[in-house]
Each structure stands twice: as structure tokens, then as C-alpha cells.
């Protein structure tokens, strides 16, 4: 599904990713761990198509060259990034945002756009699965939401848009145990043999709930070690310094 070959990324003359390789197949859950400043969020940003990065290397997503696609095209083709810091957007109603987003993706896929009633029924159902109060959906997007509410809202968007590849950028940060479980349940219930996850995290904590098939350690812009789920537990004990 996703094939990254020799990816380099530079921003503001800072060389951050230095020859990163990664292969993700459908049905797999990959976790990327690593110390602060190792390039984890840069990888997420580059995959989402954020402006400002100078990149070299090759990224293929289902056979298409990702570098040639705009951010919105990537989303329409099934790449979803759950933001580390979801943005607050004053004046934009959450429901209207969700509907616009869903219909943009449906339209790009050649599917029928949903009318308001059908949409509201669908969103109500998805929100209740995540324990999100409907009232949130009529508020301004993320404005005044707590950290946990923002992250739940990201998972709601993921479940609504049904992406092929979901990238979770430190979705666990700022979550209490209950919220963490709800978010993890949300991910686990969406997981199937056709979609894949790339989970970026500092801590083993989230991986206790979402079991990864692979754990990669990112250090100084490169993957320096790859292992199975046990690698996370080992890192929790020894720290990252033991690897470098």
C-alpha cells in the first residue's frame, strides 16, 4: 500500500529525514517510536502533503507517486492524518465541516454525495460509538474542546472518511486512561484486512491497546531498528539511548 524509498526531507534548511525506508501492506499496523526531534512528525506532515518541506526520494501509495498529489487528493485517495494538535477553527461548524469533508471524499471516489438528513443519521451513529456528545457536533470546530475531545474528534473523522491508510500522530498524548481506551477501541473496530495504520508515538502505552505488527525506531531521520510488538516493551525499559 505505502512504499517509502530513501526519503529525505528538509525544512528551513534543517535536514530532518535522511533516507527513510518503509513498507506498509494492507491489514498491517506499524508503529513508529523515537526520541524527540527524530523526525516522527515530519514524516506525518510529509505524507499528508504539508507545504514547506523540500523532499527527495520516492513515495508510492497504491502505485501512485504521492509527491504529485495535493493534500486534498491524498485525503480523497485514502490517506488520513490524525493531527497531533488538531486545529481550532472559529466560525466553522463541526457538522458542516464533517459533511463537506465526507462529501468531498465521496465525490472524488465517484460516490453519491450525502444529503443533510442521511449525513446526520450517519454522524450520530459514529459519534455515539465513540461516546461523543452530539452537542459537540453543533459547536465550532475544536474551539474550546478539551485535549481528549479533540483527539476523539480526529478518530471520528477517520471512521467517517474510511481511509485506507491512517496515520495517528501522537494521538495518545494528552489523553487520560478512559479516553485512551475509547480512542484505541475506535481504531481496533475500524481495523480490517484492507486498511493499514501508521501509529506515531513516544510511549508503549497506546500500543498496549492497539497491537502493532511492526515497531520501527526512528532516530536522526532514519529507521534504525525494526521489530515486533515486543520491541516496544523492551524500549520502555531500556530507553532510546541504548539503541544509538
Which ranges of 17-146 does DSSP label H, i.e. alpha helix?
Answer: 40-48, 71-76, 94-108, 116-129, 134-137
Give whichever of 89 and 233 is closer to other proteins, judged by the CB atom. Answer: 89
Task: Report DSSP state, residue 75.
Answer: H
Indicate whether 212 belongs to the interface with other proteins (CB under 8 A).
Answer: no
Give, as ranges, the residues between 16 and 45 that touch other proteins (CB under 8 A): none
Query: From the list 11, 108, 224, 243, which residue makes contact with other proteins (rule: CB under 8 A)?
Result: 108
- How is the beta sheet containing 214-219 ordered, strand by strand? 79-82, 165-169, 196-201, 29-33, 214-219, 222-227
Give the cell for residue 111: 460516490
Q: Report residue 5 as a C-alpha cell.
A: 524509498
Examine residue 51 and tell whether it contacts other proteins (CB under 8 A). yes
Q: Does the footprint of other proteins cover residue 97 (CB under 8 A)?
A: yes
CA gap 13, 199 in Å, rounded: 27
Question: Comparing C-alpha atoms, which of 173, 205, 4 is closest to residue 85?
Answer: 173
Is residue 116 a contact residue for other proteins (CB under 8 A)?
no
Residue 149 burial by Cβ neighbours in a 10 Å radius (0-12, 13-18, 19+): middle
Under rule CB under 8 A, residue 105 binds other proteins? yes
Mask for 145-184, x = binds other proteins (CB under 8 A): ------------x---x-----------------------
Nearest to other proteins of 80, 214 (CB atom): 80
Interacting residue ranges for other proteins, rule: CB under 8 A: 48-51, 70-72, 74-76, 80-81, 83, 86-87, 89-92, 97, 100-101, 104-105, 108, 140, 157, 161
Amino acid at each position: 500500500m505505502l512504499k517509502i524509498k530513501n526519503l529525505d526531507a528538509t525544512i528551513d534548511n534543517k535536514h530532518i529525514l535522511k533516507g527513510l525506508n518503509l513498507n506498509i501492506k494492507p491489514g498491517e499496523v506499524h508503529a513508529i517510536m523515537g526520541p524527540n526531534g527524530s523526525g516522527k512528525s515530519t514524516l506525518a506532515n510529509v505524507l499528508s502533503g504539508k507545504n514547506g518541506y523540500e523532499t527527495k526520494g520516492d513515495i508510492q501509495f497504491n502505485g501512485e507517486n504521492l509527491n504529485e498529489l495535493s493534500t486534498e487528493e491524498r485525503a480523497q485517495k485514502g490517506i488520513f492524518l490524525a493531527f497531533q494538535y488538531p486545529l481550532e477553527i472559529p466560525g466553522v461548524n463541526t457538522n458542516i465541516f464533517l459533511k463537506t469533508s465526507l462529501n468531498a471524499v465521496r465525490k472524488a471516489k465517484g460516490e453519491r454525495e450525502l444529503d443533510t438528513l442521511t449525513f446526520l443519521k450517519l454522524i450520530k451513529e459514529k459519534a455515539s460509538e465513540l461516546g461523543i456528545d452530539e452537542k459537540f457536533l453543533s459547536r465550532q470546530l475544536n474551539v474550546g474542546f478539551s485535549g481528549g475531545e479533540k483527539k476523539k474528534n480526529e478518530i471520528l473523522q477517520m471512521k467517517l472518511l474510511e481511509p485506507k491508510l491512517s496515520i495517528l500522530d501522537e494521538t495518545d498524548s494528552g489523553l487520560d486512561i478512559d479516553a485512551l481506551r475509547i480512542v484505541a477501541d475506535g481504531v481496533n473496530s475500524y481495523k480490517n484486512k484492507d486498511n493499514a495504520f501508521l501509529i506515531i508515538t513516544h510511549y508503549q502505552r497506546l500500543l498496549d491497546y492497539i497491537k502493532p505488527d511492526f515497531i520501527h525506531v526512528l532516530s536522526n531521520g532514519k529507521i534504525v531498528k525494526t521489530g515486533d510488538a515486543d520491541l516496544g516493551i523492551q524500549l520502555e525499559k531500556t530507553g532510546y539511548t541504548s539503541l544509538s
